[in-house]
Amino acid sequence: MTGNDRPNLEDSPTIASEASPAPRVSRTVGYERAQGTEPPPVSAVTAAPQATGFSARYRPGRALGEGGMGEVRSFHDTVIGRDVAMKVIRAEHRTRQDIVGRFLREARVQGQLEHPAIVPVYEVGVTPEGAAYFTMKRLRGTSLTDALAASSEGEGFTRRRLLSAFSSVCLAVDFAHSRGVIHRDLKPDNIMLGDFGEVYVLDWGVAKIKSSAESEPITRTPSDDQLDTTRPGSLLGTLGYMSPEQVRGAVDELDRRSDVYSLGVILFEILAGEKLHKGKTHAELIFSTMNPTGRSPAERAPEREVPVELDQAVLRATEQARDDRTPTARALSEAIERYLDGDRDVERRTVAAKTHADAALGHLMSAVSHDATPEAEQRERASAMREVGAALGLDPHNTAAKGVLVQLLETPMKELPREARASLEEALLDLQQKTSQWGAAAFGCFFLVLPLLLWMGVREPAIVLALFAAMALGSAGYLRAWLRRRARATMPGTVLFASFVGLVLVSGVLGPLWVPPLLATVNAIGLVLTSKKERRPLLLALSVLTVTLPLLLQRLRIMPASYEFVGGDIIVKPWLVSFPPLATQVAVTVFGVSVVASTVVVVGKFRDLLTDAEERQVTLAWQLQQMVR
């Protein structure tokens, strides 16, 4: 019993035949183990009251609850010296022989079902006022209804504990089935969880005794035949938990599978945290039972992460057609136990995973602390990753380990580890190998301009020869880097020298302000994308010098002046080649087209490489996201 003075009654409607209202049992009512003799027949008990010694033996306590047929109160049995629960028929029913018969039949059925999960009956009799009563074990605990409410608020009742209790309920119901008894009113209010792990199935007031060749029948009295007869179309049980055949009033179809359906509905409520059939009226509950939707707790409550084994157990137990349901309550219990056997291993793995996740978090905190040296950070990060891997290997859903993994991936390192730096350098060398063939082709294309220069007329053959020698050196440097891995480390130096010399000398064609800046830009793009970050200042300086150095040399009169300013016009004065009209136009056109085309091709190739790298990174990030969800 809970400590409440007033019992909490079942909220969903309980329906019974007109002559026999179904009892509404308190959520906190419970009873104690039956010893005693075969109860007398109904006729004997309902005869003239034999109340001698009743008042002396039973000392009344507080009320525990009430139902449709009787009230339950705590009494102290002074003869044996224990507290019992006494159910007494209500005053208005004392003269109703049919109700008195059903009341005593409940005591007889419950008393003959000797099972640890079925509350035993001690005594059947009448009070001095002439009211039939029976005494039972006094329970202390809470109903499954209250346990589910507490569980939804995260208090006390874990899913594993509820499932273990539910499995015991299934076995108790299966025992009753083996004795030919169908409960017909299984619901959370009629399941009691004791304070010390006990589980009880309450309220056998509307139970049906069904003889079967496979059943060990309950001992019957002649009057039971009439009491067991239920008119077709009458409803006994609680809407929302009754099987479809119960709702239809198909009494002849009721068997153990009807109770299995009710158990499936209860299991749904344990897993989903809500009722399977909802409705404010009888009509709505009946419609939901006969036209079920959303029978899968996994789909109804995805946030509760219902295991597929349990989800399937609910679906099989709550099939509309009896032949499609789980055949027995024991089979349903075995399905739960199979899951729990595996869940015990999962529980151990979860505990171990938490230990690894906590260790990973500790290593992460050490790694990101301000006073951690780069070496210490790398060591702690490596340990954290190992612990994360161990945690996720034991429990893929461990949120703490996933959180540590995300932080490890999102928090930048103070210094790149030696192994990672070596991998990065290898990747850079591979990039240089892929782009070297383009560089060799670009430098080689300058030799296609030689016929044009000869057509225009060369004024300084030695300088033109030096220009093309520089281009040949640059092309050779790229070719060596393409063909030989070791040459890639020295490739940028060779190409830098060749391109710098070539760009300075080419200023002799159109001066340092036209051709050199365009060529320097294209050249710098390729070199910046394939060189180490440390070389970038040198690349910037040399690229700028290709423009400024010729201007400085011309100002110092070391090189001939390339421009003359007359009346607001700029006159280009080439000193390397001549400018005949046709040849010059052809050469300038070819040069412009070549620069534009080569720029698009080179930048496009690099864009393709970056896109590939980005796709790999995005794919990696997506895969990591799937792992940490």
Would you name the residues annotated as active-site residues? 185
Q: Please name the helix (run of DSSP H) or strand (run of DSSP E) that holds residue 208, with its range, or none.
A: strand 208-209
Burial of 44 from C-beta contacts in 10 A (0-12 / 13-18 / 19+): exposed
Q: Give the Cα separation of 471 and 499 in Å (integer).
A: 7
Contact 337, 167 (CB under 8 A): yes
CA 587 to chain centre: 67
Angle between helices 491-510 and 515-530 (to 10 degrees): 170
Instruction: Provide the token pair at 40.
Output: 């007398």
Task: Name residues whose C-beta falls within 8 Å of residue 606's C-beta, 6 or more positions apart in sequence.
Answer: 435, 525, 526, 529
Beta carbons within 10 angstroms of residue 540's beta carbon: 12
Choose among 200, 155, 165: nearest CA to 28: 200
> Residue 59's beta-bridge partner residues?
76
> Residue 237's beta-bridge partner residues?
15
Q: Give the Cα separation of 383 and 25 in Å (integer).
A: 58
The structure tokens 């006494």 sit at 86
Is 370 in a helix, a strand, or coil?
coil
Q: Give the Cα separation of 553 and 587 in Å (integer).
A: 26
Q: Which phi and psi angles does 14 have, rounded to 5°?
A: -110, 125
Angle between helices 515-530 and 581-628 (to 10 degrees): 20
Instruction: Provide the token pair at 130.
Output: 């002439």
Instruction: Provide the token pair at 411.
Output: 């928090």
Q: Give the Cα separation of 181 and 509 in Å (integer).
A: 110
Per-residue CA distances from 459 to 463, 465, 467 (Å): 9, 11, 13
Largest pairwise CA distance in the chain: 144
Strands 237-238 and 569-572: unpaired
Contact 356, 391 (CB under 8 A): yes
